[in-house]
Homo-oligomer: A and B are copies of this chain.
Amino acid sequence: MITSVPLFLFQLAVVLFAAKLGGEICHRYLKQPTVLGELVMGMIIGPYALGGIPLPGIGPLFTPFMSTGAHSTPSNGNELYLIAQVAIILLLFSAGLGTDFRQFFRFAGPASIVALGGEVFSFAFAALVAVAFGLADHFLSPGALFIGAIVGSTSVSIAARVIRDMGKLGTPEGITILAADVIDDVMGILILTVVIGITTIGEFHAVDALLSLGKAVGFWLALTAAGILLAKYIVHFIISFRVAGSAMALALALALFSSGLAEEFGLATIVGAYAIGLALSNTELANILARPMDTLHHIFVPIFFVVMGMLVDFQAVWGVFLFGLAIVVVAIVGKIIGCGLPSLGIGFNWIGAARIGFGMVPRGEVSLIIAGIALTRGLIPSNMFGVAVMLVIFTAVITTVVLPWLFKKGGAGRRT
């Protein structure tokens, strides 16, 4: 008989090992972002594949995570799920901390047009596909809204990784894509806030929706404002500690607290983590945290992606494979049209617009986070989660193949 503690230790050991092995194979041999390897390894070791096979004397290493239909309450034994939650809080806190306010505001104008175009087109296309496939009653039902939100957001980490690998971070296209990505992240979180606000009351009723939307957005604004106003005092307090590791531990405590508070106010935890990270960016603390944050990031964030992969129920996904393909297609087309067309209007030529459009194609952590939230709240069927993972994998592969080719095709991307 195996008991809880060793089982948990084995689970954590296997997840860590799988994360690094999958990441390494992707990075070294397939030249793909590590996140893909983590997702695929999660699928392989998950409860619907190898992890579900009973081991002698232990039983299955992993059992399916439960969705409760209400708030994201993991069932007994899902400590891994809680650790993944902490990992994603770490990721979004770090993303907030790392947001360069100056770069953000310099490119905010043109980039936000690009980002908004991509969001609107992808969101609308995906919600329409959901209705067309009979997976949502109408365009504004919770399912359609969540599917739209999943497809709408871009992945900063995957896009940044591919463009950095090509050495094109400094080109006008590179800067525009990254700035639009950052804005997209904020928009994705705002959209998530709005969608959760609307769906918390079950259906779309204008007044109630506006009220809960107002409450959610109000909390988000209040938390960000409080963070920015108090940043000086928070930083002063935290860096006054002399015991080793205090800055990171205290900042993490603050991020966890803000995340818990956000969830209490009907938002997603990550909204709180991102808001407090943003408030503390451009402070002395952000520099102090850079190195320990890096260490924690590389160890814990992969756990999130492996756990996301473990949520994929193959049989269920097979039943919605056509829908999944349709979603992937509109996700790509939505970004190319939604981001490419505005690019033509802000001084780029056709090749530049194509680069920006394809640069905005990859989906990643925000899509998975939104899908995970929708799944645990019972707002999308479990096979939809597999579609989200399919979306992340397909868009990442297409971007890593097409984008280098578009950049190699040469020529300036701006009209002269």
Contact = CB atoms under 8 A, between A and B. Distances in A.
B76 A8 contact: no
Contacts of A72: 3-5
Contact of A241 (B2, B20, B82, B297): B20
Given A253-B16, A295-B248, A264 B24 contact: no
Interface string A19-45: 110011001100000100000000000
A236 to B, nearest CB: 14
A298 B5 contact: no
Contacts of A28: 242
Q: How many copies does the complex hold?
A: 2
B76 A76 contact: yes
B246 A12 contact: no
Nearest to A8: B82
A346 to B, nearest CB: 35
A17 B19 CA distance: 30
A302 interface: yes
Contacts of A10: 256-257, 260
Nearest to A81: B5
A85 interface: yes
A314 to B, nearest CB: 25
Given A89-B9, A264-B6, A299 B73 contact: no
Contacts of A8: 82, 85
Contacts of A85: 5, 8-9
A207 interface: no
A24 B243 contact: yes
A241 to B, nearest CB: 5
A86 interface: yes
Interface residues of A, number: 61
A12 B302 contact: no
B256 A16 contact: yes
A8 B17 CA distance: 25
A2 to B, nearest CB: 7
Nearest to A240: B24
Contact of A86 (B12, B70, B71): B12
B298 A9 contact: no
A178 to B, nearest CB: 20
A234 B348 CA distance: 52
Given A24-B242, A298-B245, A299-B245, A260 B16 contact: no
A20 to B, nearest CB: 5
Interface in A216-250: 241-246, 248-250
Contacts of A24: 241-243, 246
Given A13-B260, A246-B298, 15 more contacts: A3-B71, A5-B71, A5-B72, A10-B257, A12-B86, A13-B253, A13-B256, A20-B250, A23-B246, A27-B242, A243-B298, A245-B297, A245-B302, A248-B298, A249-B298
